[in-house]
Amino acid sequence: MNILFFLTPKDEVNYIYDTDTLRQVIEKMDAHRFSSVPIINEATGYYCGTLTEGDLLREIKEHYDLSLKRAEDIPISKVPRLRDYLPVRADSDIEDLLSAATSQNFVPVTDDSGAFIGIVTRKDLMQFLAKRYHQTEAEFNPQTGKRSTAAVKTLSYAGMQSH
């Protein structure tokens, strides 16, 4: 299965640039109620990493007696990140996408050159898998204990194994 099926394209994703200020990032994350956000290099469009609320809180606590006015002078690139969300390439396998999504709220997707093209959310993956599961359960015949041929194909299509 092509992972682009799940892609939220870059123009629909709220992200920050590596040149944004701490104030801009705080205001954007607060306005959208984000707990994490992708960081994109403004010049190249490449994925740089992921900034979390925890990264912001640690930096503010350890280094700043902060006002929003002062936050205008602090580039977000100076805020250390505990860990970045691992991106997958657009041509990756569904297994790579599912593996990354198990420990991340979203999975950044890049093209061959490393340019950010969008994200896949864990929510979208879970909704897809739940829908496929319910479809196959509806096609299960309790009298024979078997799924229909269509149900087996659906499970295989979703990257799962039938029992």
Dist. CA 39–CA 27, nearest whole Å: 15
Q: What is the structure's pLDDT at 162? A: 37
Q: What is the structure's pLDDT at 91? A: 93
Q: What is the CA radius of gyration of the chain?
A: 20
Q: Report the phi/psi class of residue 32: left, alpha or beta, with left for phi > 0 and alpha for psi in -120 to 50.
A: alpha
* Stretch 24-41: mean pLDDT: 93
Dist. CA 24–CA 76, nearest whole Å: 9
Dist. CA 163–CA 157, nearest whole Å: 15
Predicted confidence (pLDDT) per residue in 81-104, tens digit: 888 899 999 999 989 999 999 999
Predicted confidence (pLDDT) per residue in 111-137, tens digit: 999 999 999 999 999 998 888 887 776
| Percent of all residues in the chain with a pLDDT value above 90, rounded to a whole number | 48
Domains and CATH numbers, the chain: 3-119 (3.10.580.10), 125-157 (no CATH)
Q: For the whole model, what pTM was predicted?
A: 0.71
Cβ neighbour number for residue 108 with a 10 Å cutoff: 26
